[in-house]
Structure 1
């Protein structure tokens, strides 16, 4: 079998990065690579991908329920109102990633989202979605860390003042939000 694939304990062939973790399996099967729309949903994804920088995604996935609690369901209107006391509250919460720069970036990014018209974040991010043409990956070596589209998305967001939106982070967002489909050939989710 292709080493980029793995047969799970349920007999289903998936991308090998899933491993045997039940939460990773659920995420892969139900979320990763499925088109995600809506400013609030994409703000959450953007925020969590920023927190993930330098860490494993499974770490973020396991902490996501707590992130949602302490960041008011990633409602940009609420997060934009966070103040110094909220930053200290978040820094003291062991249930999330306690990185001051990432917390401050999430709050600042929320403020930028609230300045956009409704649906603008969705339109902006999806304007960089891959337009096909790239063959389905056969192995992990075929999956890039960045693309011209993720470079352009990063540049556009940075120009607007967004933080923790480097090209690698943007490509991870594009994968998870279904803007690109990097399920390896042979995975049951490969279309």
Structure 2
């Protein structure tokens, strides 16, 4: 079975690739999780982040934005010492800041999902890359998403992070055309 080459790092990466990556996600908690984990990846390998995902789920209240928005400075201090997650204060603080931005969207009658999916016209886009080198690290849509999220008060949401989120959440199908998942994802 041919997969995208990045998925051949470990069993955990293969499982993630084969069952999750690129599958369209609209669930608010899952999108907040994906946004958080893609931001946490900055400067690290995806394998590192994926291996700590369960720790993140526990540490960040199952990625319930309303619960995370209530985290205090003392809670952040405890998380900086938590070995089950990436102990980068800026990334941890950004998760709390981003949760508060999500709650502000809710209070304005919007959802994170609707805002994110608007950058692809609310429909997944299928790309036809043959090699990883062809796959962009950002696009005009991810640049626009980054600008909008920053305007709304989100942090650790640069264009590359936003594009990685778009890939993971199935807003774009970036499985290589030789990968068995490309056709399955449409």
Displacement of 1:141 in angstroms is: 1.4
Alignment correspondent of 1:121: 112
Alignment of 1:1-191 (within 5 A): 12-117=1-106, 120-129=111-120, 135-191=127-183
Q: TM-score scaled by structure 1?
A: 0.90
Report how many aligned residue pairs link the two structures: 180
- Aligned mates of 1:55, 1:128 — CA distance in 2: 26
| Contact 1:39 1:119 (8 Å CA) reproduced | no
- Higher share of residues assigned helix: 2
Unaligned runs of 5+ in 1: 1-11
User: 1:134/1:190 Cα in 2 relative to 1: closer, same or farther (>3 Å)?
Assistant: closer
| Contact 2:24 2:124 (8 Å CA) reproduced | no
User: Cα RMSD (Å) of the superposition?
Assistant: 1.6
- Aligned mates of 2:125, 2:37 — CA distance in 1: 29
Output one character per residue of 1:162-181: Cα deviation in whole Å (capped at 9) or x when no partner.
10000000000000000011
Unaligned runs of 5+ in 2: none
